[in-house]
Amino acid sequence: DQQVKQNSPSLSVQEGRISILNCDYTNSMFDYFLWYKKYPAEGPTFLISISSIKDKNEDGRFTVFLNKSAKHLSLHIVPSQPGDSAVYFCAAGIEYGNKLVFGAGTILRVKS
């Protein structure tokens, strides 16, 4: 039972353009959401998060949007850079719970 789904296994974007990575969740109890970035042979690195009381959070080139009614969140990267090429994981949790539930990841390739 996949509670967090990233339906696009990969995405290819031209440098300078926008990258949009999508994530859907099924558990309505989730109230905290995160994006992690992972390079080969390294552990995931925290990128940005959003609480369910918000619908948008921005940090530099990265913006996360949350649509609670659709149980959908997305990560926008503008402008995309070759160094952004990595695997991006969406994760969700319950604020006072103990665990994060991760999606399967989306491989982003930014072409120069």
Partner 1 sequence: GAGVSQTPSNKVTEKGKYVELRCDPISGHTALYWYRQSLGQGPEFLIYFQGTGAADDSGLPNDRFFAVRPEGSVSTLKIQRTERGDSAVYLCASSIRTSGGALSTDTQYFGPGTRLTVL
- CA–CA distance, 110 with 51 (Å, rounded to integer): 28
Which residue shows structure tokens 């949007």? Answer: 65
- Does position 60 interact with partner 1 (CB under 8 A)? The reply is no
* Contacts of partner 1 in 93-112 (CB under 8 A): 93-105
SS3 (DSSP) at 84: helix
Q: What mask, x for binding partner 1 by CB under 8 A, covers residues 14 to 53?
A: ------------------x---x----xxxxxx--x-x--
> In whole angstroms, what is the distance from residue 33 CA to residue 102 CA?
10
Site of interaction with partner 1 (CB under 8 A): 4, 6, 32, 36, 41-46, 49, 51, 89, 91, 93-105
